[in-house]
Structure 1
Amino acid sequence: MTPYSIRHIFDLNHVDLTDSLVASRQEGFRMLDRLVDDFRDGRNRFNQPGECLLGVFDASGNLLGIGGLNQDPYSLGFPVGRLRRFYILPDYRRQGIGRRLANALLLEAKRTFLTVILRTYTTQGAQFYESLGFIPYNTSTSSHVIRFNETSSDSS
């Protein structure tokens, strides 16, 4: 397995997204194009309270995966996190990299949010997120949700 590290990305202009952009487009995904466009025009820089953008990098500094956490713009009343722009290069999937990245994002989320939502459009994505503890949550803006307990006791 390739040695890698997970690091915060504060400036997307300092990250080479070329391989990830090409691969995601070949798979029919536009989430990384949206990531670049939104960062460039300032709509989303993952810099609001509770937000972060994380990258998975190999020992040479090449980006293997990326994912972000935002405040959900659709939530009403209490802060909800939204997992977004999550992508792992195809050659690095099924090696635990995506799981470690998602868990790092959820650890960050627990500092601010009691709930995290996301939208995935694929069966494979749904299975991945459900293996992390997300449950189906079909709304007009979300497909899955995970809720963190305020205490260590189980609650429904």
Structure 2
Amino acid sequence: MLQLVRIFDELPDGFGDLVAEASGEGVRNMALLAERWRAGPQFQEDGETLLAAFLAGELAGIGAMTSEPAAAEPARRLRRFYVRPDMRRRGVATALASALIHEGFDSVRLLTVNARASDAAAPFWEAQGFMRDASGPWTHVLRHP
């Protein structure tokens, strides 16, 4: 069973393994999250969210959303997104993305994402409905209809 949990005060058990696996794939976003978290819990501002996905009780992935200050209109950025290799192709990434997209559209009409982290990122975000867009520090946008 897949469970999404909002993270407030402490990173979840197993996060160190997730950082190591991401780093082993050349993906730095989990290490950046860990570094920033040590300075104090993040994602406490309005509209900021950090979700952990657990599959059968084991940490499977992380996804976050923050404000997007570079946009000309109110917007949110989906970021710090990673699913452990052995948990892929089980709906974890799609569940995380869907939850963040729905929450984002509760308050803004524009979501952005930077899909440069891996070769699989751009096709994944495009499958979620995001369109390529290089007009800001992002690679893709999704606009609420």
Q: Please provide the CA RMSD for this pair.
A: 1.6
Task: Name the counterpart of 2:114.
Answer: 119
Segments of 5+ residues of structure 2 without an aligned counterpart are: none
Larger Rg: 1
Question: Helix, strand or coil for the counterpart of 1:123?
Answer: coil
For residues 136 and 74 of structure 2, the distance between their equivalents in structure 1, rounded to whole angstroms, comes to 18
Q: Report the TM-score, using the length of structure 2 for normalisation.
A: 0.91
User: Which runs of structure 2 are paired with 1:50-61 in the superposition (5 Å)?
Assistant: 50-60=47-57
User: Which runs of structure 2 are paired with 1:67-106 in the superposition (5 Å)?
Assistant: 67-76=63-72, 78-106=73-101
Task: Name the counterpart of 1:154.
Answer: none
Question: Helix, strand or coil for the counterpart of 1:133?
Answer: coil
Question: Helix, strand or coil for the counterpart of 2:120?
Answer: helix
For residues 35 and 18 of structure 2, the distance between their equivalents in structure 1, rounded to whole angstroms, comes to 15
Deviation at 1:15, TM superposition (A): 3.8
Runs of 4+ in 1 over 6 A off after TM superposition: none
For residues 146 and 124 of structure 1, the distance between their equivalents in structure 2, rounded to whole angstroms, comes to 18
Task: Name the counterpart of 2:43.
Answer: 46
For residues 147 and 40 of structure 1, the distance between their equivalents in structure 2, rounded to whole angstroms, comes to 33
Q: How much identity, in percent, do the aligned residues show?
A: 33
Deviations 1:100-139, CA, capped at 9 Å, x for gaps: 1100111110111110001011331111100010000124
Kept in 2: contact 1:57–1:63 (CA 8 A): yes
Segments of 5+ residues of structure 1 without an aligned counterpart are: 150-156
